[in-house]
Every structure is written in C-alpha cells, then in structure tokens.
C-alpha cells in the first residue's frame, strides 16, 4: 500500500491550532495563562486521541433510542444512549465545559475548550451549550438559581435522573419551539395555570423540538395569565417521582445523530416553577439564547477547523502527478482560502467570549450587535467550507470513515437552531434601531483597526454608507449583516493575525479580489505561509 495518508490522530488539537492558542494568550491574563494552557492542552491531547475519536464514531453509529414505556406498560419517557455518548459528555463536564460563569476568563477558557472538544463529536455539544447557557436566565429567580447553578456548573457528570437535592451535577435543556412556529415564539400555545403554591404552575401543551431530553431540567416558554413566561421544568419532582414529560417521538435528523431531539407533550399535570415575572418570558429566556448563539459560532468554528485540519493533513501526505497535493499551486490556493476562513471564525468566537468575560456595559452593547451578526455569518460559512474541505480528500473524503461526511451533515445545523439566518439578520436590525450603544461599541471595536489596511478602510466606509441609508432596510438585512461580520473579522485579523493571513482575508473577503468559490485567491499572496501556519503537526 502506498500513498494513503496516516489517520490524523495522536495530536494535541489545541496546541496544533495557532489561531486558537494565540487567541487564548491574547485574552487570558498572565497569572491565569499557564493554568489555561495546561487544561486546554490536556483536553487537546484527549481530543486528538484515537480513543476519543472512536467514541465520536460510536455515538453516531449507535444513535439514541426512545423508550416510552417499561415492560409492564408504565410510561418511562426515557432515551437510551450508547456508552460512548456518556463518555464524551462526562469528559466534557469534567473538563469544565459547563463551568464558565464566575471563573477568571471563564468564557474564553470555556469557548477555547468547546472549540477543541467539539472537533471530536459535535452532537453532544448541544446539552453542554444549553447547560452553560441556562445559568444567566435562571438568575432571574435567585431562589432557583441557588439550587441549580451549582449543579449546572459542576464538574461532575451524573446521567441518572434524580431530584435536584440528590444530585451533584445536572444538565439543562430548552424547549421553546412549537409546531405552529419556532422563530415566532409569541405564537406559543402551551398554557401555564398557577397552582396554590407561589411560583408553581401546571403546564398543558407541547414542544415540537426539545433536544437532549434526558437533561435534568428545561427552560420552557408557556402562556401564563400575565402573558408568555419562562419556567423551569424538572424531569424529576422534588419528592422523587417523575414529572409528566411525555416523549412522543425522536426526530430523524440529517445530522447531529448522536444527540436526541424529541417531540414532547405536557398533560396538565406537568409541574414547573416560574423564572422571572409573568409576561417577561422572552426577555428572560433571551439571556440563555444569547449564550447559545455564541456557542453556535464556536461550534461552527470547531467544525470548520476540524474539516480544514483533515484537508491539510491529507494533502500534506497524498501525492498526485509526482508532488504532494499541498505543494500543487492550485491546491495550495484552496487550502489557504479554507485556512483563513477557519482562522477568522476562531478569532471572532474568542473575541465574543472575551467580551462576555469583560462584562462591562460596553461589552454587553458590543455583544448585542456582534453576536447575531457572527451567528448569521460564521454558521453560514460552515457548510460550503466543509464541502470544499471534503473535496480536498477526493474520493476518500466522500466515505464515512474519513469523518468528513459527518462534519458535512452537522454543518447546516448551527445556522438553523437558536434562530435561523433571516431571524439573526432581523435581530441585527432590531439592535441597530433600539440600542444605539450597540452600534457605538461595534464602531469603536472596528475603529481600532483603521488605517492598517486600505481594503479594510474602504470596507468600513462602505458599511457606514449602508448604515446611513435605511431605504428597504429589511430586505437588505442579510447583506448588511454580512458586511458587519466581515468587517469585524477583518478588523480582528488585521490587528492580531500574521500579516499573510490578514492580507488574504482583506484581499478576498473585503477587497473583492477573489471569486465565489474557495481557491480563487490572487496567486501573488503568501499562500504557502498561510497553509503552513494552519497545518496540524502530529509528533512522529
Ligand atoms: C436538530 C434541531 C434541534 C432543535 N432543538 C431545539 C430545542 O432543544 N429547543 C427548542 O426550543 N428548539 C429547538 N429546535 C428548533 C429550532 O430552534 C427552530 O427550528 C428554529 O428556531 C426555526 O424555527 P422553525 O423551525 O419554527 O422555522 P420558522 O420559524 O417557520 O422559520 C422558517 C424560515 O423562515 C425564516 N423566517 C422566519 N421569520 C421570518 C421573517 N420575519 N422574515 C424573513 N424570514 C423569516 C427563518 O429564518 C427560517 O429560515 C431545534 C431544531 C433542530 C433542527
């Protein structure tokens, strides 16, 4: 056998990614940097191991199974997962991927870890994200947060369903979407009737999508007497009996097959606790949605990085027509283009995480605009990038064993859940209209890069012109959102990335000097340096 590359295994996924390691060093202060590098290095080694890669394959080869009833006909409403799923989740929880709030640089460290570990398997990122993101929403009800926050941020993974008082670690999910509409949650029909005890309600209705249904608790929206309200719905009641949480079906999904996404019904005896005031449900749950949207950016960056790493590794070994593929000028053009797209996504995800850590009013204003813009753009770039990376492996890439088909099936998901593309673009308009501080914070962020690159400067001027003209703004929302994201990525790369990376980005994404497909960069750029920077190095 000749000319078949070795598998990309036995490497440190963190250390092998300069965009990621440099980003962590940029945002994590000196006294915490050593510890952050050490923990991320350990996670990186685990992520690059043959063992973890096998768990990822198994969790997808043996998808979850719904068990509605036990052998005697009692309802149990459980989903059974392959042990590999639990190993993946257990490793992630122990590594702190649900533990960001209140830790020094917790968001940057967690985002970097999530970017590393999602490269093993993307499906189990869903419960990790929702568990992490439930915390700020729950804080609207301090009494509930006092019970649940320590469980959700715990580093102990306990899969068994038990009441909160008898757990040391717990997972949370979210159930907003109903049959009649997901984007338009105000159309929700699930009802919440107040019970005698303050803050307690009985729910009747359904949810059309409810992922990770074996989580310990869910944040749910339902119509209370005072309007749409957020609730915490535990799977097990405080007295140890099961809450009425009827799993009807599991979705047969394009990808994300290791994860279960259920249809669920609430039968009038479903017990829930109110989170925040009646009628403030959307505002309360949006705290959670904002954090999961950042995770959509990070997960897309992870899927992109893994696809690019595979393409770079394969082409560094495989020869055609007498030369390694990566040394062929046209393949080098493709690889450099993919590598820069991946670096732009990683750099943006880390910048957003750093703003979460900053936590100032200005950081929050920046996130208000930058998160929906980034969610729109980075998630949308994921699918074409993975498809092109797959092609770099030729026929091998189209075969399941390469892992690329799994990445390609996963790729579109992050642009759908937590609000599809149009919904993000419309949210950008809402932020521009209602929160002037958001645009100010964004402009001062990109302003820091002004004067460094003429193509970026021109793009900023063009963006300002677009922003000044509100004619037909709703139909132009995608175009505007794309420009906001590209200019922000360009500003970050000009400030922080090596010149050859920023040069490619500014030429191709801002200067218009490239075609629509990947691999159409100007040949005069230093493409070899870009490719070499991104190539994952495996110790011999
Ligand atoms: C695998 C998977 C898992 C999921 N897990 C969960 C979960 O755990 N919990 C949960 O609550 N939900 C979950 N969802 C649901 C998901 O969040 C919704 O599917 C998503 O928000 C879109 O809502 P929808 O499907 O109702 O589409 P619709 O709201 O019908 O939207 C359809 C299309 O119309 C566009 N659109 C909507 N409004 C406008 C407008 N005003 N102008 C222009 N275009 C518009 C949207 O961008 C979209 O492209 C999951 C979805 C998937 C695929």
- Beta strand 172-175 with 217-224 is parallel
Report how many helices (DSSP H) and strands (DSSP E) the chain contains, helices first.
17, 11
Residue 469: pLDDT over 90: no
251 close to 210: Cβ distance less than 8 angstroms: no
Ligand 1 centroid to 179 CA: how many Å? 10
Label residue 470 by pLDDT band (50, 70, 90).
confident
| pLDDT tens-digit readout, 249-303 | 999 999 999 999 999 999 999 999 999 999 999 999 999 999 999 999 999 999 9
Q: Which atom of ligand 1 is nearest to the CA of 178?
A: 26
Nearest to 379 by CA among 341, 353, 406: 341
pTM, full prediction: 0.98
Structure tokens at 413: 């998901």
Structure tokens at 179: 């049959």
Question: What is the 3-state composition of the chain as percent helix, strand, coil, each rounded to the nearest 5?
Answer: 55, 15, 30
> pLDDT value at position 181?
86
| pLDDT tens-digit readout, 209-250 | 999 999 999 999 999 999 999 999 999 999 999 999 999 999
Structure tokens at 198: 């303050």
| pLDDT tens-digit readout, 122-158 | 999 999 999 999 999 999 999 999 999 999 999 999 9
> pLDDT value at position 540?
66
Give the integer Cα–Cα distance in Å for 5 and 87.
Answer: 28
- Beta strand 319-320 with 261-275 is unpaired
Angle between helices 329-358 and 361-392 (to 10 degrees): 160
| pLDDT tens-digit readout, 162-182 | 999 999 999 999 999 999 989
> pLDDT value at position 17?
98
DSSP output for 340-395? HHHHHHHHHHHHHHHHHHH-SHHHHHHHHHHHHHHHHHHHHHHHHHHHHHHHHTGG
Tell me which residue has its CA closest to atom 45 in ligand 1.
422
**Residue 206 phi, psi dihedral angles, 5° rounding:** -155, 165
Nearest to 428 by CA among 471, 374, 472: 374
**H or E segment to which residue 308 belongs:** helix 281-317
Ligand 1 centroid to 210 CA: how many Å? 12
Tell me which residue has its CA closest to atom 53 in ligand 1.
417
Which letter, b or e, does each residue of 328-348 get, where b requires 16 or more Cβ atoms within 10 Å of its Cβ?
beebbbbbbbbbbbbbbbbbb
Residue 424 CB partners (closer than 8 Å, separation 6+): 293, 372, 373, 375, 376, 481
Label residue 187 by pLDDT band (50, 70, 90).
very high
Beta-bridge mates of residue 261 = 211
Ligand 1 centroid to 206 CA: how many Å? 16
Ligand 1 centroid to 185 CA: how many Å? 10
Its sign, for the CA torsion 432, 437, 442, 444, is positive
Burial class (CB in 10 A: 0-12, 13-18, 19+), 397: buried
Distances (CA, A) of 26 to 325, 347, 472, 481, 490: 34, 10, 40, 26, 17
Ligand 1 centroid to 30 CA: how many Å? 42
Mutation probe of ligand 1 site: the residue of 182, 254, 266, 412 with most atoms within 8 A of C-beta? 182
235 close to 221: Cβ distance less than 8 angstroms: no
């Amino acid at each position: 056998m000749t000319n078949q590359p070795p598998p990309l295994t036995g490497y440190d996924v963190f250390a092998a990614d300069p965009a990621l390691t440099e980003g962590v060093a940029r945002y994590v202060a000196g006294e915490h940097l050593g510890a952050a590098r050490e923990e991320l290095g350990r996670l990186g080694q685990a992520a690059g191991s043959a063992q973890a890669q096998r768990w990822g394959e198994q969790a997808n080869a043996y998808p979850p199974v719904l068990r509605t009833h036990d052998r005697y006909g009692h309802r149990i409403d459980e989903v059974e997962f392959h042990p590999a799923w639990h190993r993946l989740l257990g490793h992630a929880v122990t590594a702190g991927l649900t533990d960001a709030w209140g830790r020094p640089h917790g968001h940057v460290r967690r985002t970097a870890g999530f970017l590393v570990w999602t490269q093993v398997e993307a499906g189990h990122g869903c419960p990790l994200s929702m568990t992490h993101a439930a915390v700020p929403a729950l804080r609207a009800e301090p009494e509930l947060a006092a019970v649940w926050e320590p469980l959700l941020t715990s580093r102990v993974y306990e899969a068994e369903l038990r009441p909160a008082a008898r757990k040391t670690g717990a997972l949370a999910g979210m159930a907003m979407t109903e049959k009649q509409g997901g984007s338009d949650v105000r159309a929700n029909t699930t009802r919440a009737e107040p019970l005698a005890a303050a803050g307690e309600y009985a729910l009747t209705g359904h949810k059309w999508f409810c992922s990770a249904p074996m989580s310990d608790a869910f944040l749910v929206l339902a119509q209370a007497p005072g309007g749409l309200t957020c609730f915490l719905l535990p799977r097990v009641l405080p007295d140890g009996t099961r809450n009425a949480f009827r799993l009807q079906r599991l979705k047969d999904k394009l990808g994300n097959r290791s994860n279960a996404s259920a249809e669920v019904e609430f039968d009038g005896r479903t017990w829930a606790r109110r989170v925040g005031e009646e009628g403030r449900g959307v505002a309360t749950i949006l705290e959670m949605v904002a954090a999961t949207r950042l995770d959509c950016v990070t997960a897309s960056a992870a899927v992109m990085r893994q696809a690019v790493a595979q393409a770079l590794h394969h082409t560094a070994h495989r020869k055609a027509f007498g030369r390694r593929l990566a040394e062929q000028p046209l393949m080098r053009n493709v690889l450099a283009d993919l590598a820069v797209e991946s670096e732009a996504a990683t750099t943006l995800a880390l910048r957003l995480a750093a703003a979460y850590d900053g936590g100032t009013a200005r950081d929050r204003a920046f996130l208000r605009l930058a998160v929906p813009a980034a969610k729109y753009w980075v998630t949308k770039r994921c699918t074409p990038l993975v498809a092109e990376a797959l092609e770099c492996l030729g026929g091998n890439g189209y075969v399941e064993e390469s892992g690329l088909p799994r990445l390609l099936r996963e790729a579109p998901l992050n642009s759908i859940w937590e609000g599809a593309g149009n919904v993000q673009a419309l949210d950008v308009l809402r932020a521009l209209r209602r929160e002037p501080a958001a645009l100010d914070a964004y402009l001062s962020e990109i302003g820091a890069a002004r004067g460094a690159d003429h193509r970026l400067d021109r793009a900023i001027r063009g963006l300002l012109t677009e922003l000044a003209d509100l004619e037909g703004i709703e139909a132009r929302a995608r175009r505007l959102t794309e420009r906001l994201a590209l200019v922000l990525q360009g500003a970050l790369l000009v400030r922080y990335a090596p010149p050859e990376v920023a040069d490619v980005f500014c030429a191709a994404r801002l200067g218009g000097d490239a075609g629509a497909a990947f691999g159409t960069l100007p040949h005069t750029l230093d493409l070899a340096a870009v490719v070499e920077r991104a190539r994952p190095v495996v110790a011999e």
